[in-house]
Amino acid sequence: MSSDGSNDGDRIEALDEITELDDVDDIELTAEGQSLPEIDEGRYLYCVVRVDSEVPRASDDSEAPRASSDSEESFETIGVDGEPVSVVTEGDVGAVVHACDEIYDSADLTEVRRWLVRHQTVVDEASEVFGTPIPFQFDTILRSDDAGVREWLREEYDTLELALSELEGHWEYRVEVVETEPISDETLIDHDDRLADLAAQIDDAEEGTAFLLEKKFDKRLTELRAGRRESLTADLQARLDEHAREVHALERSPTASLSETVTGDEQTDGETLSRLTLLAHEDDEEAIGSVLDEVAAIDGLTVRFTGPWPPYTFAPELGGDNEDSRQTHS
């Protein structure tokens, strides 16, 4: 099974789901006439990447132009709301940014969709040029100019450098296992003596007793289905652990997502049995796909495998997020 993360709906998912924007209200859509926090000067942060450390640059207080590496010169793209994107570097670490003076809120879902897609597109393009990045959530803004970005990079350098080294060549993947043809009650009865006994008692019981027995029967059914889900998830996690650096289970039923709202996409029919997020090396993607192919071959099950994504879930927590320096809007 190959992963699929190329269309706009999946790009939105990378920000909606991977950055934990499951609830539409988390975007804080701006009501008409509502004022937004003022930013005198800021830098919108897309991601941090490793750059060529051999390239000299002017000091922060110099008016001389800063030299750029070949990769920086070739990285020309347009960011959120049509803003030109640049790379601010400190040593061998660079921040992909654009200049801004406000956060991005809107009551227009179509506009929000464009922003989300553009944010993820910039991160994807940076990934192609520089390798695995440390991605930021949508609307993460540093309240400063380029010199402030460099100062922040210096302060966080050890954390950023270590994370970039550990994440090199690794990407985030998402797995969802959906049961499109639920196992029948009859099949569960055939494989569980307790359930079979309750079914027999119900057939012979009077109305009042039958009602109580039916409640026990339904509870047992619920337990068996939950146990089946847990067993499938545990088995799948164990098999994926052989090919991924980290595997984490997610909530089976996230709240209404922004990607559904702005694209009109619907969830796959059926019950979600398992949702997982993986951090894995790009060389192991095919092996992971093979494991998932075996699961998808089981009657009644469908597997959705998306990625590779920038490792949003596995990015390090960074400091400097007080109101005077950094605005994290999520």
Residues 293-303 have a mean pLDDT of 93
pLDDT band for 74, please (50, 70, 90 cuts).
Answer: low
Q: Per residue in 244-268, pLDDT tens?
A: 999 999 887 654 444 444 434 445 5
In a domain, 244, yes or no: no
Please give the DSSP secondary-structure letter assigned to residue 85: P
More confident position, 322 or 270: 270
In a domain, 325, yes or no: no
By mean pLDDT, which of 249-263, 270-284, 287-301 is the weakest?
249-263
Number of domains in the chain: 1
Q: Per residue in 165-223, pLDDT tens?
A: 999 999 999 999 998 887 878 888 888 888 888 888 888 888 888 889 889 988 998 88
Please list the residues that pair with 88 across neighbouring strands: 95
Provide the 10 A C-beta neighbour count for residue 276.
19
Q: Is the pLDDT of residue 287 over 70?
A: yes
Whether the Cβ atoms of residue 180 and residue 268 lie closer than 8 Å to each other: yes
Q: What percent of the chain has pLDDT over 70?
A: 73
Whether the Cβ atoms of residue 116 and residue 11 lie closer than 8 Å to each other: yes
In a domain, 19, yes or no: no
Q: Is the pLDDT of residue 285 over 90?
A: yes
Q: How far apart are CA 209 and CA 202, in angstroms?
A: 8
In a domain, 272, yes or no: no
Dihedral, 195, 196, 199, 204 alpha carbons, nearest 10: -140
More confident position, 326 or 274: 274
Q: What is the value of pTM for the model shown?
A: 0.76
Q: Is the pLDDT of residue 319 over 80?
A: no
238: Cα separation from own chain's centroid: 21
More confident position, 29 or 208: 208
In a domain, 116, yes or no: yes
Residues 110-132 have a mean pLDDT of 93
Residues 92-114 have a mean pLDDT of 90
Preceding amide of 56 cis, omega within 30: no
pLDDT of residue 38: 65
Out of 47-51, 222-226, 227-231, 271-275, the most confident range is 47-51
Q: Is the pLDDT of residue 91 over 50?
A: yes
Whether the Cβ atoms of residue 171 and residue 135 lie closer than 8 Å to each other: no
pLDDT of residue 21: 46
Q: How far apart are CA 75 and CA 69, in angstroms?
A: 10
Nearest to 305 by CA among 173, 179, 178, 180: 173
In a domain, 181, yes or no: no
Provide the 10 A C-beta neighbour count for residue 176.
19
Residue type, position 299, single letter: D
pLDDT band for 76, please (50, 70, 90 cuts).
Answer: confident
Please give the DSSP secondary-structure letter assigned to residue 191: T
Residues near 76 by Cβ (< 8 Å), separated by ≥ 6? Answer: 85
In a domain, 318, yes or no: no
Whether the Cβ atoms of residue 94 and residue 87 lie closer than 8 Å to each other: yes
Residues 223-235 have a mean pLDDT of 88
In a domain, 123, yes or no: yes
Two tokens at 184? 């029948």
Q: Is the pLDDT of residue 32 over 50?
A: no
Range of the domain at 93: 28-168
Q: Is the pLDDT of residue 62 over 80?
A: no
pLDDT of residue 278: 96
pLDDT band for 72, please (50, 70, 90 cuts).
Answer: very low
By mean pLDDT, which of 34-43, 46-55, 124-133 is the weakest?
34-43
DSSP characters over 112-137: HHHHHHHHHHHHHHHHHHHSS-EE--
Out of 18-27, 131-140, 311-320, the most confident range is 131-140
Average pLDDT, the chain: 79
